[in-house]
């Protein structure tokens, strides 16, 4: 049974208090996309909560399918954020998928057994038999990485992206899986996202107070909801499993509306 070390526990706390709140800027993103009146913003919040709740319900009834969808969404979302930050405007999908696979399958490659134990927590199922087929994903990633390396000779900006991926893999290799994930999520993904949002809000929104209030409100709501979920799950699971379930299922619940808002609508208008 997977047990949280002290450093992994700190890493999860870091994701909770640094990483997760980056989605709280979705209120500002909604305003950038035109949801500025009270009525429009109220509709946005209701739709956001409905989607999040639907993800949680779906995970309860179909945990295995939900886990695979969450992994797929993570690859796409992380990758698109990295591609957007490079400000290339081309090679969108090959670059995005390479970056997304780099962090997700980097963790799986270097910490296979621990990662699959975490997957078991999240899905109540064993995926041991799937380990025999991971070479397919690794091979696919390797081909994309070769293409990325070739493009880096042509496009100088991609050399920074290649260097970043190497650094991420080194961090993942040297640390526990949850620690490596938290470092990437909090200090690379969150940093890029928040920097981009703040740049656009300062340029296109005059009401900075609105950005602050909505971000703080969404953050507090997320923390309160997460705390209540941990307390509820602790009646039936260990603390480690309760924390991991709450954090990652919560991330999935927030990722779908966040990804829809940011990757489908926001990037189309501002990238």
- 194 lies in some domain: yes
CA 140 to CA 237: how far, in whole Å? Answer: 37
Residue 57 lies in a domain: yes
pLDDT for 24: 85
- Return the DSSP state at 25: G
Note whether residue 1 is domain-resident: no
The residue range of the domain holding 238 is: 6-270
Phi, psi of 2 (to 5 degrees): -70, 130
Residue 125, pLDDT score: 85
Has residue 257 been placed in a domain? Answer: yes
Per-residue confidence (pLDDT) for residue 89, from 0 to 100: 82
Look at residues 56, 26, 66 and name the one whose alpha carbon lies nearest to residue 200.
Answer: 26
Q: What is the model's pLDDT at position 153?
A: 92
- Which residues are CB-neighbours of 185 under 8 A, at least 6 positions away? 15, 19
3-state SS, one letter per residue, for 138-206: HHHHHHHHHHHHHHHHHCCHHHHHHHHHHHHHHHHHHCCHHHHHHHHHHHHHHHHHHHHHHHHHHHHCC
Spatial CB neighbours of 253, under 8 Å, sequence gap ≥ 6? 52, 53, 55, 56, 59
pLDDT recorded at residue 1: 54
How many structural domains is the chain composed of? Answer: 1
Which among 250, 104, 222 has a CA at the least distance from the CA of 242?
250
- Residue among 148, 194, 155 at smallest CA distance from 169: 148
Q: Give one DSSP letter per residue of 4-23, joined into a string.
A: --HHHHHHHHHIIIIIGGGG
Find the length of the chain. 271
Tell me the C-alpha distance between 211 and 198, whole Å: 9
Cα gap 25→212, rounded to integer Å: 9
The pLDDT tens digits of the residues spanning 240-258 come to: 888 888 989 999 998 889 9
Contacts of 32 (CB under 8 A, 6+ apart): 200, 201, 204, 205, 266, 269, 270
In 10 A of CB 12, how many CB atoms? Answer: 21
- Number of helices (H), then strands (E), belonging to the chain: the values are 13, 0
Per-residue pLDDT of the chain (271 residues; tens, 9 = 90+): 567 888 998 998 888 888 877 888 898 889 888 887 888 889 999 999 999 999 999 999 999 999 999 999 999 999 999 999 998 888 999 999 999 999 999 999 999 999 999 998 898 888 878 888 999 999 999 999 999 999 999 999 999 999 999 999 999 999 999 999 999 999 999 999 888 888 888 888 877 787 888 888 888 888 888 888 888 888 888 888 888 889 899 999 988 899 999 998 888 887 6
Give the phi and the psi of residue 98 in degrees, each rounded to 5. Answer: -60, -50
Cα of 89 vs its chain's centroid, Å = 22
Cβ atoms of 44 and 35 within 8 Å: the answer is: yes
Spatial separation of the C-alpha atoms in residues 262 and 29, rounded to whole Å: 7
């Amino acid at each position: 049974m997977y047990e949280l070390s002290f450093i992994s526990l700190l890493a999860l706390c870091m994701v909770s208090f640094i990483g997760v709140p980056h989605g709280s800027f979705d209120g500002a993103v909604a305003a950038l996309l035109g949801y500025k009146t009270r009525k429009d913003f109220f509709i946005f919040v209701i739709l956001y909560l409905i989607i999040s709740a639907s993800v949680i319900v779906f995970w309860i009834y179909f945990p295995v399918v939900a886990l695979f969808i969450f992994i797929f969404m993570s690859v796409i979302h992380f990758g698109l954020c990295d591609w957007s930050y490079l400000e290339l405007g081309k090679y969108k999908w090959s670059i995005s998928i390479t970056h997304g696979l780099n962090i997700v399958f980097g963790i799986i490659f270097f910490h296979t057994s621990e990662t699959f134990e975490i997957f078991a927590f999240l899905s109540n199922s064993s995926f041991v038999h799937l380990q025999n087929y991971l070479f397919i994903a690794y091979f696919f990633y390797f081909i994309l990485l070769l293409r990325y390396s070739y493009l880096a000779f042509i496009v100088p900006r991609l050399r920074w992206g290649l260097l970043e991926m190497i650094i991420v893999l080194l961090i993942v290799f040297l640390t526990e899986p949850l620690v490596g994930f938290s470092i990437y999520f909090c200090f690379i993904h969150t940093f890029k996202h928040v920097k981009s949002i703040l740049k656009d809000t300062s340029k296109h929104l005059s009401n900075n107070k609105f950005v602050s209030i909505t971000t703080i409100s969404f953050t507090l709501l997320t923390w309160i909801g997460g705390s209540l979920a941990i307390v509820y799950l602790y009646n039936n699971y260990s603390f480690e499993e309760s924390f991991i379930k709450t954090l990652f299922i919560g991330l999935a619940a927030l990722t779908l509306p966040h990804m829809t808002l940011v990757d489908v609508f926001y990037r189309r208008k501002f990238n």
